[in-house]
Structure 1
């Protein structure tokens, strides 16, 4: 049975029909530009303020749970709200509608990129977009830092996370786990009292046998493509792709930018699936499409499938397969987390140690995004970037650019993008559009 808020009728509207839920999330899926912060804000406005389908308290509790999960928190929140309204069927509909429009768009754009990236017009387009994306990531660091780092403890967590990643290349899951434990211990130390929740406002606890069977069924559905790849003797690159992103879906905490940091570290540096500048191109594409920012991962999958298949026609088919495999591996676990965990998390709405762990994870993500911003910045602004080993015994190294390789045009675009964002307060989409157009014009003028 669907779970709904039991509050006075003058506070909330009647629960939506399935058709109403579908209509609202179709609109959200088509218009959800701007990254997770903007998407969560759009859902809050539509669901809490306009439709009044869910209370502020319950919306924030759902958001807190989704922030603790690995993977795209905005898509998980959409799935959670759909589950609250219409159970598993509502969760599937709302979660899919949040992702599908953007997946179609990113696949089409990835095909255009793979086929025409050597042409002057596309090179110029992405030259402008990269600088704008760098400014957007910097703005994300500042915005999240102001919102999150409200205590000395949280500032220390953010600084430690950044140092662990930037100087020691500590695996991202380890950083998040340590931050969560530190936040949990700190919350217990502060002894924050729990908030009482009426028993009648809690969902029924599912029988243990049914819960385990449902979880196993979802896991089989999730890994079914891998079984098909093995049975069909598919290319090793596609099998590795699905296996890697399945693992990634389970360990990438902290939202879209944190996922990108992990994929950039492993997919670019370890597997060599694409170059750093191509990763930036993918992020630029994802920033200009609706849906979760982690749809950039389908861009990675498309390039791997395209190159593995080779040839124009076959390459596009292979790219579509690669994009689908990555999307399946990435987003299906989000449904599993919600359907398996939400009934129990709803019973913890009065607990105050979970927010402590959440705040520490969010603080660590500030450090993660700062590391991502510097990594992107080095590869956008400089043509050559190397690594210096400071203390090899303990794994201390430092990424440094060749200062003579500074690209003045890229620096000018970055400064201009930052001015548009911070000075003129333009939105993300106008900034991306202006920078893409300027890069295109400059590139075409250069070859005339």
Structure 2
């Protein structure tokens, strides 16, 4: 319990790159290197995390904690994973309010956003090989069907600009019927779904607005599926357009903060909450967003673990996993289209990916730091 809690504390502190990279790190560290999880357990957790609402990486971490140490493990891994980035975004919120905006943040994000593309592209590639497999034309089997699900999810995610939960379930059901059709398929069946430092405005809050914040972010946590990236359009429509809590530029800064800080991307809710209603707003926003995903994961995990040994359920999970990985790759493409805006950012992204492949000792935080410096340097030259 101590080792796995410390691992997620480290991942929450140093894990850059968003949901695709974070779930990739978990696979690399916990399945390949430490062997704390089997490949099957990892796939089960990834499938459950995608089926339940809420941020993908946080759910997978909570599931892994639950598999090892039950409810206490789920609580400890969830807190260890989320708390470091929550503290960081609150501190950045204090600085943001003190200095009336983070104009330098966009210069940093210019380079960091490009480096993140390189990092998550490598993670997505590794996840694809592990979960979907290599294309084997000689042994046709059902592998081609997983690739069909994968490519379909990539295309639909890019076109729709968000992940489709119905697609995952359909892919899972089709693969189950093809590979291991259960006897009960012909009968009507339902699948159960069961602090810190003081600063200006730190302790100031409005009770009415706090309640509004809580209800809004509870809805965001309960009804937005997929990676933390999927929550951004939902947050924009509510925070900027509906409630008008933040301006367009403030919201863009909030997304930038989420991308340059480690841990789950969805922790941007803490930064938004702080700008709207101080530390109380940050706490309520974060708690309301992560509570549904914690409850769904803990409630579903025992049931999901028990039935996952069934051959039909295994096929169902394999089909979902192929679509999930495809959707994650689609998310990479969407982010790339927004982050790779010119030749310098393209070169930074390419260089980051190649560095991870060929320079064995380099770590993701090193690349993020280098990219941030390059971003500031390049932007100052371009603006000169």
TM over 0.5: yes
Which residue of structure 2 aligns with residue 66 of structure 1? 49
1:26 shift after superposition? 3.5
Which residue of structure 2 aligns with residue 336 of structure 1? 295
State whether structure 2 residue 66 is matched by structure 1 residue 83.
Answer: yes
1:77-156 equivalences under 5 Å are: 77-118=60-101, 122-134=102-114, 136-137=116-117, 140=120, 144=124, 147=128, 151-156=147-152
Higher RCO structure (Cα 8 Å, ≥6 apart): 2
State whether structure 2 residue 368 is matched by structure 1 residue 437.
Answer: no
Contact kept, 8 Å, 1:21 with 1:94, in 2: the verdict is yes
State whether structure 2 residue 360 is matched by structure 1 residue 417.
Answer: no
Q: Which stretches in structure 1 are left out of the alignment for 5+ residues?
A: 1-17, 166-171, 195-211, 216-231, 306-317, 382-410
Selected match of 1:234 from 190, 207, 211: 207
1:62 shift after superposition? 2.1
**Alignment RMSD:** 3.6
Contact kept, 8 Å, 1:124 with 1:442, in 2: the verdict is no
1:22 shift after superposition? 3.9
Seen in structure 2, the aligned counterparts of structure 1 residues 445 and 437 have a Cα distance that, compared at 3 Å, is same
Which residue of structure 2 aligns with residue 180 of structure 1? 168
**Secondary structure of the equivalent of 2:164?**
helix
Seen in structure 2, the aligned counterparts of structure 1 residues 349 and 323 have a Cα distance that, compared at 3 Å, is same
Contact kept, 8 Å, 1:286 with 1:295, in 2: the verdict is yes
- Structure-1 separation of matches of 2:330 and 2:5: 37
- Structure-2 separation of matches of 1:88 and 1:162: 36
Q: What TM-score, normalized by structure 1, do the two folds share?
A: 0.64
- Structure-2 separation of matches of 1:366 and 1:265: 24
State whether structure 2 residue 286 is matched by structure 1 residue 327.
Answer: yes
- Structure-2 separation of matches of 1:53 and 1:145: 22
- Structure-2 separation of matches of 1:278 and 1:422: 30
1:185 shift after superposition? 4.1
1:36-56, Cα deviation, whole Å (9 max, x unpaired): 344334444554455544433
Which residue of structure 2 aligns with residue 260 of structure 1? 232
Seen in structure 2, the aligned counterparts of structure 1 residues 126 and 335 have a Cα distance that, compared at 3 Å, is same
1:327 shift after superposition? 0.7
Contact kept, 8 Å, 1:176 with 1:361, in 2: the verdict is no
**Secondary structure of the equivalent of 1:414?**
helix
1:179 shift after superposition? 1.1
Which residue of structure 2 aligns with residue 159 of structure 1? 155
Larger radius of gyration: 1
1:255-294 equivalences under 5 Å are: 255-294=227-266
Contact kept, 8 Å, 1:182 with 1:360, in 2: the verdict is no
1:110-142, Cα deviation, whole Å (9 max, x unpaired): 221232245xxx523432313531563486468
Contact kept, 8 Å, 1:128 with 1:436, in 2: the verdict is yes
Selected match of 1:355 from 308, 318, 325: 318
Seen in structure 2, the aligned counterparts of structure 1 residues 35 and 276 have a Cα distance that, compared at 3 Å, is same
Q: Which stretches in structure 2 are left out of the alignment for 5+ residues?
A: 133-145, 183-192, 195-204, 357-361
State the number of aligned residues.
Answer: 339
- Structure-1 separation of matches of 2:352 and 2:229: 19
